[in-house]
Chain A
């Protein structure tokens, strides 16, 4: 399985943008890049995903490098509720089913 590499932790201030990096140098051409986040005592929550083009939704933006070996999750204006572990994930298709391989995650702290 292709792997992702993320910083262990990051810190930011409330109402400022946050850029969470992820390296995936062994990504294959058909792997999608997903981001999920996990708050304490909860299951992971979907944030965003993409293949080649940059993606935007109401929660965040995903910027994918042209060679697809790295990506960045952008939270445009962080709030205290965005404090969580953010996972960068490669999704492959195995025997017609979706397989997510989670990275180690970045613990994001938001300062008031």
Chain B
């Protein structure tokens, strides 16, 4: 069982919809991450939050909007997505200190119609 919980596991949405992906951890970790993984490709970093502040944005389009309401929760708000945004979205967390392992959730599989 993973210690990072992502909901929903699957999401199908139209290009005009607004939806949110949710990630939760109760390990006391202070860094949280969003990754995007296309089929048969490695994960690619999107955003990093460190102590609830956005530290890294890998030039992600504004149709993806991250939010970190507290140290246990990470959201990814989606609006006006394109078909090429269909992918597995992975959340991870790690302790606040640097060079610590990341713990990944099993992801949300997103399909854009």
Contacts and interface: CB of A to CB of B under 8 A. Distances in A.
A104 B42 contact: yes
Interface in A82-101: 87, 91, 93-101
A97 B56 contact: yes
Interface residues of B, number: 25
Interface in B52-67: 55-56
Contact of B44 (A34, A49, A102): A102
Contacts of A49: 99, 101
Contact of B94 (A98, A101, A104, A105): A98
Q: SS class of chain A's interface: helix, strand, loop or mixed?
A: strand
Contacts of B94: 98
Interface stretch (B14-22, B73-81, B104-112): B104-112
Given A95-B56, A96-B50, A98-B48, A46 B101 contact: yes
Interface string A15-40: 00000000000000000101010000
Contacts of B44: 102
Interface residues of A, number: 25
- Residue among A34, A44, A45, A102 with most chain B CB within 10 A: A44
Contacts of A97: 31, 48, 50, 55-56
A103 B41 CA distance: 9
A44 B98 contact: no
Contacts of B2: 42-43
B70 interface: no
A104 B31 CA distance: 25
Interface of B: 2, 4, 31, 41-45, 48, 50, 55-56, 90, 92, 94, 98-107
16 contacts: A34-B101, A43-B2, A43-B92, A44-B90, A44-B102, A44-B104, A87-B42, A94-B56, A95-B55, A96-B55, A97-B50, A98-B31, A98-B102, A100-B102, A102-B42, A102-B43
